[in-house]
Homo-oligomer: A and B are copies of this chain.
């Protein structure tokens, strides 16, 4: 271990699969100070290694893994890593953040980042055992599901405690929303990073680390850690989070009327009762489960005991997965959702985009665009859970119509028709919030640098003003009203603040479920944890500025690919059709007010109102002026 580093491991691993070169190089201190680590440094590395001429599925597209300075530390919820690459789904900036135990293992092996370039001649996997790094044949693993791959690699290496991040058949088959899976159920899934891994003939990265990590001020660090854990455990939502995890949201979404149903045609679901976290807990949960060093353990192991999906085992599912494979498809059969969730994990698919593309196909079927006599089509009637399950296989194997759906809903619609009801931004499918009732999220999902996205700016607290009123006032300086979610005012400020802090949390190596930038961990926690871990004397303001820099760099990536203001609008359905049922019935996004909110957001961001391109003044402030010069005016949007 490089004793000059605290927090960070201080090393980057570069692997060229074409030439088989494996190089370890020191992490640049300037880079770490400017972009923190994990998703921030990943973004910087990707920005510098790509451009509009790079096809996401070509050997030229780098696949970058990164952990943060707090990953693998005693800080609570420090099990995260990020995978970054140009997205095969959207053609723009792509990354995906993942929990479990793989990230801490990489840190323990002594690496902050892995930059993978080129393409192996035949399937390989990367085996990292501290300083011993090697590419191993993976022909025998190709075609295997993630569960079988995980097991086989550990067995063959005789390393039962190694951590394996791998792709399934979906990644191999270049499904544009394929995931990378570790610990059988933790997924780096969004933006299709698994397909990039497949395009490189890279089946897995197995890691075993024995180097450990050091913090600068151990006693101080321990004190902040203890305080942070206490603050998490004293949070009013702690019990809910550790009992239900994100599945607590299902009931809330139904109650408030933002539960996407039948491809966002409705916002409450008549069978939502079956999908609630309480039902899951009572009928299926066998045990709670946490990622590395997590005092919450929001995840759960599940089991189906009866009916046609009896025998199904798995971990999760998140609210997003329940909704994607459930209400979005009109499917109220919880066992089938658990089964489909397990299947997505085993085959290596993003549950959100998978559910959305199936929901899109069901609406296409409803509207006669997909007919019963198309090759290999199940009968796509709303709620046909057998169709959901089998279509997942077909997508992963690119079988029949699955070959078209594997391209994602937008490309499928461009081929078959029905683009108006693809609910996406910049090519990425929307998560499970009907944003017509929640204006801040409407903005957030629309402007996210990786497309339709709840994880880059998530102000979940927008929908629970009564709980978060005080915090929002203190931290963001905004006064909120009882029906805050329905308002346009102050949302630009709320969002940009959230976005900056999400960038910080994702770059530190912490989990955003607990480090959501307001509650229970707050900016001061992050600042104190980082300071004690690294010895770096940094202020809360400086930290937020780093978040701002990362956000803007990701924006510049988009600008370079042609992203402009018109790409920051909500999808057709949510922008133009009123909510069909439930508490927000009749509600729709007011064009003028949304554009006004966008103006305000651009102003706060320091972006040009007309084009959405960051302005030079702001870039000078963040030290991104050279990047602005390099990208201005260039690019075309893919797809």
Contacts and interface: CB of A to CB of B under 8 A. Distances in A.
A96 B169 CA distance: 28
A313 interface: yes
Contacts of A142: 123, 142-143, 172
Contact of A393 (B147, B393, B403): B393
Given A143-B142, A311-B378, A379-B309, A148 B372 contact: no
Nearest to A142: B142
Contacts of A565: none
Nearest to A375: B313
A309 B373 CA distance: 10
A305 B372 CA distance: 6
Given A143-B142, A397-B143, A376 B311 contact: yes
Contacts of A512: none
A144 B378 CA distance: 20
A97 to B, nearest CB: 27
Interface in A13-50: none
Contacts of A399: 145, 147-148, 346
B379 A311 contact: yes
Contacts of A121: 121-122, 139
A438 B42 CA distance: 70
A389 interface: yes
Contacts of A377: 310-311
Interface in A333-391: 342, 346-347, 371-379, 384, 386-387, 389-390
Contacts of A4: none
A301 to B, nearest CB: 12
A173 B397 CA distance: 13
A305 B373 contact: yes
A306 B372 contact: yes
Contacts of A123: 122-123, 139, 142
Given A122-B123, A376-B313, A397-B143, A386 B306 contact: no
Contacts of A398: 144-145, 148
A201 interface: yes
B387 A390 contact: no
A308 interface: yes
A147 B397 CA distance: 11
A312 interface: yes
Interface of A: 121-123, 139, 142-145, 147-148, 169, 172-173, 201, 303, 305-313, 342, 346-347, 371-379, 384, 386-387, 389-390, 393, 397-401, 403
15 contacts: A121-B121, A122-B123, A123-B139, A142-B143, A145-B398, A169-B169, A169-B397, A305-B373, A308-B379, A309-B378, A311-B376, A311-B378, A313-B375, A346-B400, A393-B393
